[in-house]
Amino acid sequence: MTGDANDGFAVGTYVTGVIHGLQPDALLVLLPALALPSNAAAAYLATFLVGTVVAMASYTFFIGVSSSAISRHNPNFVKRISQGSALIAVLVGISLLIGAATGIDILGGGH
């Protein structure tokens, strides 16, 4: 590492992605591989991997390029978008915790 401030940001982004990828709900998408013969299961997993990496890389590229272009005109853009996203995430998390504690369906997604 060069000690640059971007190094810490890059590591934090990578770690966040790895932790997000460890969610057990992703296993449901991989279940069909258990019902396939070995070669077909390997092909399924390989194409799933490639498709996921391409989709995530494309999304990251698009967000990076567009936020970089916008931040040239408005230097505080990325900081404000990050703060706004974090605030929304915290508010949704608090709403879910309150809903779980009180038994009230705060976000209206109940059946």
In this structure, what token pair is assigned to residue 94? Answer: 């608090």
Q: Does the structure show a pLDDT above 60 at 2?
A: no
Distance CA 74, CA 81 (A): 12
Distance CA 95, CA 105 (A): 9
Distance CA 62, CA 9 (A): 18
> Average pLDDT for residues 58-76, to the nearest whole number?
87
CB 96 within 8 A of CB 107: yes
Q: Does the structure show a pLDDT above 50 at 77?
A: yes
Q: What is the pLDDT of residues 12-64, one digit of tens each?
A: 878 887 887 777 877 788 888 889 999 999 999 999 989 988 998 899 899 88
What pLDDT is stored for residue 9 in this prediction?
74
Q: What is the DSSP string of 29-66?
A: HHGGGGGS-HHHHHHHHHHHHHHHHHHHHHHHHHHHHH
| Segment among 2-16, 63-77, 80-94 with least mean pLDDT | 2-16
Q: Does the structure show a pLDDT above 70 at 109?
A: no
